[in-house]
Amino acid sequence: MKDVALAAGVSARTVSNVVHGYVHVSEDTRRRVQEACDRLDYRPNLLARNLRSGRSRVIALVVPEIGSPYFGELGQSIIEAARSRGYAVLIDHTGGDIEQEKEFLVRSSASRLFDGVLLSPSRVTGDELRAILDVPFVLLGPRLFDPAFDHVSIDNVAAAAEATGHLLRQGRRRVAAIGEQRWGGSAAQIRTIGFRKAHEALGLAVDESLVVPTARFKREDGAAAMSHLIESGLRPDAVFCFNDLLALGAMRAIHQHGLRVPEDIAVVGFDNIEEGQYSTPSLTTIAPDRHVIAELAVERLLARIDGETVDQPPRLVVPHQLLVRESA
């Protein structure tokens, strides 16, 4: 920095002001400093700056399954939102395992490798979050927590009801749900509530034999659940799958059993992953606004990191839409 100051004919403090983007520097001075930086190939020592400020300018994104296209696409949006604000993103995944979630939270609190955490939790509870994590954090995803926690998500109950209602309004009366899970607070349980509400709104009963649980939200689970429904004689005329991977697996099983989508069985998914747009037939799905999720989550997290007063409510509900394509 002293070399740059000497070359530009200014003080080291002025060089620091230019490097940090302070506005109270004349354009002529800024130009001379920048030319000197370029000529001398000067780069700020980011490590020294971070040590001095007590910040790493890194945030963590922790998701249940990095191999899921939805989380991959969401991660890309979060990286872009963070980068535009001068932050990098460290990504980890837990496999939906409670012990791995807890281990990451303990390590993150102890290591201070990053300034805050964006967390899409699978099993960890609100009490565990409060007890373990002592860095700023914002929750993502459908699980509902203590209303005091910052949480960015769509209204999963309303979205599931809209997806199911779309099928029921077409006159489909044997609508299956694939993806139910039995443990409390899961995305599946929340979407099951919406599935039931859509039936209630039209005065229709849910056929419980058509609500099929799955261990995971993967293609093979959707295919197995759909095969079970067809081969057991419970064949539905429509199915709402709790994510797009389940739906793509279900459509494959329908085809393998000599049936057609949507003529014999209509299919709706959830997440709007890119793969569904190019499947045959293309997949009707619930589309969360991932760009808005990323922007709001990063913005809220950085506000917490900076200790700012936040006027908005802790829970931020992001828009979604039903994208009607060829499968339903």
Cβ count near 307 (within 10 Å): 7
pLDDT tens digits along 77-92: 999 999 988 899 999 8
What are the DSSP E strand ranges found in 106-171? 116-119, 137-140, 151-153
CATH number, span 56-153+290-320: 3.40.50.2300
Strand order in the sheet with 151-153: 88-93, 58-63, 116-119, 137-140, 151-153, 315-317
Q: Do residues 238 and 266 lie in contact, with contact meaning Cβ atoms separated by under 8 Å?
A: yes
Cα separation, 291 vs 48, whole angstroms? 33
The answer to whether 56-153+290-320 and 156-287 have equal CATH topology is: yes
pLDDT of residue 243: 96
Q: What are the tokens at 226?
A: 């759909």
CATH number, span 156-287: 3.40.50.2300
> Residues 6 or more apart from 52 whose CB is under 8 A from it?
none
Does the global pTM surpass 0.85? no
Residues of the chain where predicted confidence (pLDDT) is lower than 70: 20-23, 44-55, 108-112, 146, 183-185
Q: Do residues 212 and 229 lie in contact, with contact meaning Cβ atoms separated by under 8 Å?
A: yes
- What are the CA-CA distances from residue 164 to residues 54, 226, 274, 321, 328 (Å)? 49, 17, 21, 13, 11
Cα separation, 159 vs 243, whole angstroms? 12
Cα separation, 191 vs 162, whole angstroms? 11
Tell which residue, 116, 63, 37, has the closest CA to residue 271: 63
DSSP summary character for residue 282:
P
Cα separation, 168 vs 199, whole angstroms? 8
pLDDT tens digits along 219-270: 999 999 999 999 999 999 999 999 999 999 999 999 999 999 999 999 999 9
CATH number, span 2-44: 1.10.260.40
Distance, first Cα to last Cα, the chain = 63
Secondary structure of the chain: what % helix, strand, coil (to 5)? 45, 15, 40
pLDDT of residue 195: 97
Domain boundaries, the chain: 2-44, 56-153+290-320, 156-287
> Residues 6 or more apart from 268 whose CB is under 8 A from it?
163, 164, 166, 167, 238, 239, 240, 241, 247, 283, 284, 285, 286, 322, 327, 328
Cα separation, 142 vs 152, whole angstroms? 9
